[in-house]
Amino acid sequence: MKKHLLVLTLAVSSLQFFSAQDKKIAEECMLKADYKCAEEQYTKLADKELIQKYQSEYFNNLGTAQRRLGKISASFKSYESALKSNPMSAAVYANLGSLHNQKGSKTKALDYLNKGLLIEEQNIEMYLTRAKVYENLNKKDLAEKDLKQILSFAPDNIFARTGLANLKKRNGDLEGSLKDYNQLLSEKPESLLYNGRADVYLKLKKHKEALADVNKAISIDPKFSQSFVTKALILFDSAKDKEACATLDKAVAAGYEKAALAEQFAKCVKK
C-alpha cells in the first residue's frame, strides 16, 4: 500500500513539475509577443488541467493569444470555455466584454461587463471598456460617469484621467484636451501621455509637435504598441506612406492586433 502511495505521489509531483514548466514557457512566449508559441502552450495546459480555476486561467490566456493572432472566432470560443470552467472569473468577463465591443455586439459587451462588475465592483479594466462601449453607442454622459467612477476609488488612475481628456478630444474640444494632457504630463511624463498628446496635436494638424511627442513616447517605452500606431497615423497624414507602413509593422511586432489595423494596412497595398 505504501509503495502504491509513493508511486502515486511521485506521479502527481512529476505532473505538477511539467505543468509548471509548460506554464513558464507559455508566459515567456506571451512576454516575447510570440503568440503562436503561447497559443500552443496554453492549449496544452488547458487540455491537461483538471482544476477548473486554473483551466479557466489557461483558456483565458489562450483566448488572448488567439486574439493577438487575429483568430477572433477561436478567441471567442476560448474565452467562453474559460467562463464555463470558472463562471466567477472577472478577467474572463472583461475580455469577453472587450472582444464583443471590438468585434461583436455592443449589447453583449455591456451584458458581460455588467455581470463582471457585479463580481468585482472596482474592476478598472471593465469600467474603462464599458466607457468605450457607451461612447460607441453615443452615450457620452454614461462614458464620463464610468471614468469618474474609477477616479472615486482610484483618483490617480492615469487611464481614467486620459479617458476624460480623450472624451473632450472626440467631442471636438481639442484645446481643452490639450490643456488636460499638459497638466497630466507636468505630473507624470509617461509614454501613454506623450502618445495621447501626440494624437491631439495630430488632430490640430501640428505634425512637428505630434511627431516629437510620439517619438518621446516610443523612447520611454518601445513596447507600447499604440505609440507606433499613432506615429503611423501622423506619417500618413504627412504624406509619408512608406514610413507609415513600416511603422505599422512595428506596431504589430510590439503586440498590436493586425486585424484592428486593416483600414491602415489597406493603404500599404502596392498598386
* pLDDT tens-digit readout, 108-156: 999 999 999 999 999 999 999 999 999 999 999 999 999 999 999 999 9
pTM of the model: 0.74
Q: What is the mean pLDDT of residues 241-257?
A: 94
Query: Is the pLDDT confidence value at 18 over 90?
Result: no
Q: What is the DSSP letter of 266?
A: G
pLDDT for the residue 4: 53
Q: What is the mean pLDDT of residues 36-50?
A: 94
pLDDT for the residue 259: 85
Q: Taking a C-beta distance cutoff of 8 angstroms, is the pair 193, 181 a contact?
A: yes
Query: Is the pLDDT confidence value at 71 over 50?
Result: yes
Task: Give the model's confidence band at 19: pLDDT under 50 very low, under 70 low, under 90 confident, else very high.
Answer: low
Instruction: Please tell me the distance from the alpha carbon of residue 14 to that of residue 5, in angstroms, as a whole number.
Output: 14
Is residue 25 classed as helix, strand or coil in its secondary structure? helix
pLDDT for the residue 270: 62
Q: Look-up: residue for cell 484592428?
A: 260
Query: Is the pLDDT confidence value at 12 over 90?
Result: no
> Which of 36, 102, 46 shows the shortest CA–CA distance to 78?
46
Residues 169-179 pLDDT 10s: 999 999 999 99
Q: E strands along 153-205, which residues?
A: none
Q: Which three cell numbers stand for residue 119?
A: 463580481
pLDDT for the residue 260: 87
